[in-house]
Chains A and B, each alone.
Chain A
Amino acid sequence: QVQLQESGPGLVKPSETLSLICTVSGGSINYYYWSWIRQPPGKGLEWIGYIYYSGGTNYNASLKSRVTISVDTSKNQISLELTSMTAADTAVYYCTRHPYGSGSDHWGQGTLVTVSS
């Protein structure tokens, strides 16, 4: 059974960089897209970006200047970095597995990141 687990700081100061890790267990990273999606409290889902297991990336245009997603196949981990954090970046951040041609069929439980001084 594939499981995804997000980890990282729950609190980030304004202007700082958020670093999150998604650890995949029970399956391989290979041959899948891996995406980060966030959800501000009480609001809808926002796609941040994805990475293919081989390293190709695609980012939301509105976040592109601040986002980096990377993959470490040896550790079965996907990482997210989001720079210059503001209160508007406060959200639950999800990691998902997205088979080619399908939707996101596995989601992590999500991690709440609050931006506050």
Chain B
Amino acid sequence: DIQMTQSPSTLSASVGDRVTITCRASQSISSWLAWYQQKPGKSPKLLIYKASTLQSGVPSRFSGSGSGTEFTLTISSLQPDDFATYYCQQYSSSWGFGQGTKVEIK
């Protein structure tokens, strides 16, 4: 099975900061990677798919990049609504998630 490793596990940041979250796959997944945002008590929300395609309705401050085994999610200017937990998911082979990155207020 393909293992997904996210870093960091927790990230402390301020409004306006540029934030980057990394996701590494244990083997190549081409660009079959999605990013989700989850707030407490809510279902996850799709932000990015195919590594870099922004889901409709998602603010342009979110962007994704990478291919193969290394991927990043970047928030260009952190907004109050962005404090949440973020997950990567590979859907190349027998899908799986990273362990999550909690973005908290510094």
Contact = CB atoms under 8 A, between A and B. Distances in A.
A61 B1 CA distance: 8
Interface in B35-71: 35-36, 38, 43-46, 48-50, 53, 55
A86 B49 CA distance: 34
Nearest to A98: B91
Which 10 A-B pairs have CB atoms at the shortest separation, nearest pair first?
Answer: A103-B34, A107-B43, A103-B49, A45-B97, A102-B49, A103-B46, A47-B95, A44-B100, A44-B99, A105-B46
B40 to A, nearest CB: 10
Interface of A: 35, 37, 44-47, 50, 58-61, 94, 98, 101-105, 107-110
B44 A60 contact: no
| Majority secondary structure of chain A interface residues (helix, strand, loop or mixed) | loop
28 contacts: A35-B95, A37-B97, A44-B99, A45-B36, A45-B44, A45-B87, A45-B89, A47-B89, A47-B97, A50-B95, A60-B94, A61-B94, A94-B44, A101-B32, A101-B49, A102-B46, A102-B53, A103-B34, A103-B49, A103-B89, A104-B34, A104-B44, A105-B49, A105-B55, A107-B43, A107-B44, A109-B43, A110-B43
